[in-house]
Amino acid sequence: MLELAFKGSKNYFGWVLGLLVLIGIGFGFYLYQLKFGLGITGMSRDVSWGFYIANFTFLVGVAAGGVMVVIPYYLHDYKAFGKITILGEFLAIAALIMCLLFIVVDLGQPMRIFNVWIYPTLHSVLFWDTLVLNGYLLLNLIVGWNVLEAERNDTHYPAWVKPLIYISIPFAIGIHTVTAYLYCGLPGREFWLTAILAPRFLASAFAAGPALLILLCLFIRKTTRFDPGREQIQALAKIVAYAVCVNFFFFLCEVFVAFYSKIPEHMEHLTYLFAGLQGKGSLVPWMWGSVVLMLISIVLLVNPSTRRRENILMLSCACAFVGIWIDKGLGMISGGFVPSPLDHVTEYAPTFPEFMIAVGVYAAGVLVLTILYKIAVSVKEEVA
Amino acid sequence: MEDSRRRFLKLAGISALGLTAKPVLDAFAKEHAKAPAPEFEEGPKALKAMQWAMVIDTRRFKSDADLQPIIDACDKIHNIPVFENKRHEIKWIWDEEYEHAFPTNPNKFLTERLKDTPFLVLCNHCENPPCVRACPTQATFKRKSDGIVLMDYHRCIGCRFCMAACPFGSRSFNFRDPRPFIPKITMQYPTRTRGVVEKCNFCAERLAVGKLPACVEASKGALVFGDLYDPKSEVRKLLKAHYTIRRKQELGTEPAVYYIV
């Protein structure tokens, strides 16, 4: 099937070329980082994880969100989703590849990365995270490829694929649960030390993943002869509507616990994010922007008349996606580090090289997604 | 080939450790079937304990000037670099005000003395260290023989999970090559490379040759070092005689650094 990726329009190849250029630029900055060290980033002794790990966390959510098309189709026999499960699985693959790349660029000694498996450490959550992430990646590759190939050859996929599909469902929940456990099991980091962190991560994942999938479906319908289907898009929209509401509810739960209990360590992080602390508050406009975007998406998605209009749906999905990206990609990680365990307020902002490396990683992910979607859509066009 | 390599290792071990040949051979014989693991021979003068601990008598410190010689002693022997950019800072032992050393134990109306007293802070060598739990490669580990939380700079992958896990901000990351920024390199302790985490090691390298930690030595008696589980040790005597506090005791990490206030 891979040959399908090598046949395409001028626009397709132009897009691929553009992505390759971005990857090249990002790689150039990465070489600079390899030579100098992580000192080229905005990270510091106090804020020791930044943009890379935040985007990693966000993208784990996007990957897990793919399961929202798998569950209805394979567990509830919701036939309509059969058309688009492949899009969910391939989105997960691209997101996972970005996750792994973000981990690699964040390491101080990337050439030693296999120490994690050479010295397997069962009490480290990071060890388990590498297992579930790679496992989920592998499962999606095998399942997605086999199901699509069967569709192309007008046969049923081999029987041994079915158990892998079922296994991939707990894996999807697992990747974001284990990723939340990276944070929420650390003493002295009160912002993350909350039992609701994993559920909150999952809620935001099930909003951001399907929201992106809707945008991709609308794009595919516009640019190719394959129509993912109005019913499918509307069903996804309902999933996003529920998930953004639950996500916002979880956030309000956090706010209540912190500010009703009035325990300083619990309030400080939220105060820093939404009002600033000791005169420092570079994230304040971002965080309020995120709240506004999420509220807009809730209103437009819950209301059936706006949800059904596809151009408004596009807007509300974009709002949900960007709002969650800000919340998780900017607030969640920085917010946990500010103030520091010694109650110092050290702010963090990504530097230009750091930003460009992140752009390079995103470009690599989009390239993978482009190629996989090109193959999937070509097969769909063939069999249609 | 494999055999000659083993013989070479045996010979190297014997010549390096001189007269203590037998235990070395035994160690290698024991490892014969498995991959060779590092084995260390304790020096004859090595200081031993079940769990090393420190008591800091903060009443002895009036100002930063009292602390500086202690901090300098550590910085010098451990090749700590000096960076102008605060983001790249490396700190093993440093000073903080009360409200930052004990942020979860605030006192609105602190005594004048404590308000002005600088507090020395360093790795607490917790009995129950969260950093060790978090590390995915066991590059940071709690040494069973004496409870020191140590780092293997050659195994660390630089993921900085330990920094997120430490509730005391005791860990530093080499954001860039530290070597050009070390005022005067000493050969007694290795310099580090960029991309690895480091922290106070309770001067494990000095204990191995029968010396007390450099900060303790430089403190003129204000810092006392000893075995927490030896009722006759110097630290236990102090703990018996004085009310002491520890940093963030409520987290249950059991810090091994105690403060007399």
Size of interface A-B (CB pairs under 8 A): 150
> Which pairs count as long-range contacts for A219-226, CB under 8 Å and 24+ apart, including other chains?
A220/A87, A220/A373, A220/A377, A224/A377, A224/A381, A225/A381, A225/A384, A226/A377, A226/A380, A226/A381, A226/A384
Mean pLDDT, to the nearest integer, of A113-127? 96
Q: Which residue has the tokens 């807007």?
A: A315
CA angle at residue A357 from A351 to A359, to 5 degrees? 100
Q: How far is B119 from chain A (nearest CA, A)?
A: 12
Which of A39, A126, A189 is closest, CB to CB, to B136? A126
**B169: which chain A residues are within 8 Å (Cβ-Cβ)?**
45-46, 340-342
Among residues B254, B226, B213, the alpha carbon closest in space to that of B54 is found at B226
Q: Is the pLDDT of residue A255 over 60?
A: yes
Closest residue of chain B to A334, computed from CA coordinates: B164
DSSP 3-state of A83: helix
* All domains of chain A in start order, with CATH: 2-383 (1.20.1630.10)
DSSP 3-state of B226: strand
Contact between B157 and A113 using a beta-carbon 8 Å cutoff: yes
**Nearest-angstrom CA–CA distance, A364 and A30:** 13
The pLDDT score that the predictor gives to residue B241 is: 96
The pLDDT score that the predictor gives to residue B42 is: 77
**Residue B197 bridge partners (DSSP):** B173
A331-365 in b/e form (b: 16+ CB < 10 A) is bbbbbbbbbbbbbebbbbebbebbbbbbebbbbbb
Q: pLDDT class for A345, splitting at 50, 70, 90?
A: very high
**Nearest-angstrom CA–CA distance, A277 and A270:** 10
**A267: which chain B residues are within 8 Å (Cβ-Cβ)?**
none
A113-148 in b/e form (b: 16+ CB < 10 A) is bebbeebebeebbbbbbbbbbeebbebbbbbbbbbb
Looking at chain A, which runs of residues are DSSP E strands?
A: none
Contact between B195 and A109 using a beta-carbon 8 Å cutoff: yes
Q: How far is B179 from chain A (nearest CA, A)?
A: 13
- List of chain B residues with pLDDT < 70: 1-40
The pLDDT score that the predictor gives to residue B214 is: 97
The pLDDT score that the predictor gives to residue B8 is: 55
Q: How far is B155 from chain A (nearest CA, A)?
A: 7
Q: How far is A249 from chain B (nearest CA, A)?
A: 27
Q: What phi and psi values does residue B258 have, to the nearest 5 degrees?
A: -110, 145
**Residue B142 bridge partners (DSSP):** B149
Ramachandran class of B79: left when φ > 0, alpha when ψ lies in -120 to 50, beta otherwise = left
The pLDDT score that the predictor gives to residue B112 is: 87
**Nearest-angstrom CA–CA distance, A151 and A154:** 5
**Residue B141 bridge partners (DSSP):** B150
Mean pLDDT, to the nearest integer, of A41-59? 96
Share above pLDDT 70 across residues of chain A, in percent, rounded to a whole number: 100
Find the farthest-apart pair of alpha carbons in chain B and give their distance in angstroms, rounded. Answer: 72
The pLDDT score that the predictor gives to residue A305 is: 94
- Its pTM stands at 0.91
**CB-based contact B211:B225 (threshold 8 Å):** no
**B136: which chain A residues are within 8 Å (Cβ-Cβ)?**
115-116, 121, 124, 126-127, 130
Q: Is the pLDDT of residue A121 over 90?
A: yes
Q: How far is A73 from chain B (nearest CA, A)?
A: 37
Contact between A38 and B136 using a beta-carbon 8 Å cutoff: no
Q: Which pair of tokens denotes residue B161?
A: 């999970």
Q: How far is A95 from chain B (nearest CA, A)?
A: 20
The pLDDT score that the predictor gives to residue B41 is: 73
Contact between B104 and A44 using a beta-carbon 8 Å cutoff: no
**Nearest-angstrom CA–CA distance, A218 and A310:** 8
Which of A38, A115, A183 is closest, CB to CB, to B155? A115
Encode pLDDT of A167-184 as tens digits.
999 999 999 999 999 999
Query: Mutating which of B95, B99, B159, B174 best tests the A interface, going by the most A Cβ atoms within 10 A?
Result: B159
Contact between A39 and B175 using a beta-carbon 8 Å cutoff: yes
Encode pLDDT of A273-300 as tens digits.
999 999 999 999 999 999 999 999 999 9
Between 3.40.50.261, 3.30.70.20, 3.40.50.300, 1.10.150.120, what CATH number should domain B52-260 receive? Answer: 3.30.70.20
Share above pLDDT 90 across residues of chain A, in percent, rounded to a whole number: 92
Mean pLDDT, to the nearest integer, of A257-270? 94
**Residue B260 bridge partners (DSSP):** B57, B244
The pLDDT score that the predictor gives to residue A183 is: 96
Which of B96, B103, B160 is closest, CB to CB, to A48? B160
**Nearest-angstrom CA–CA distance, B137 and B141:** 9
The pLDDT score that the predictor gives to residue B106 is: 84
Mean pLDDT, to the nearest integer, of A345-355? 96
**Nearest-angstrom CA–CA distance, B69 and B222:** 12
Closest residue of chain B to A106, computed from CA coordinates: B159
The pLDDT score that the predictor gives to residue B2 is: 52
**CB-based contact A179:A173 (threshold 8 Å):** no
**Nearest-angstrom CA–CA distance, A55 and A98:** 9
**CB-based contact A197:A180 (threshold 8 Å):** yes
Contact between A186 and B165 using a beta-carbon 8 Å cutoff: yes
**Residue A280 bridge partners (DSSP):** A277
The pLDDT score that the predictor gives to residue B7 is: 60
The pLDDT score that the predictor gives to residue B30 is: 54
ipTM of the complex model: 0.91
The pLDDT score that the predictor gives to residue A221 is: 93
Contact between A189 and B164 using a beta-carbon 8 Å cutoff: yes
**Nearest-angstrom CA–CA distance, B106 and A265:** 11
Preceding peptide of B231 cis, ω within 30°: no
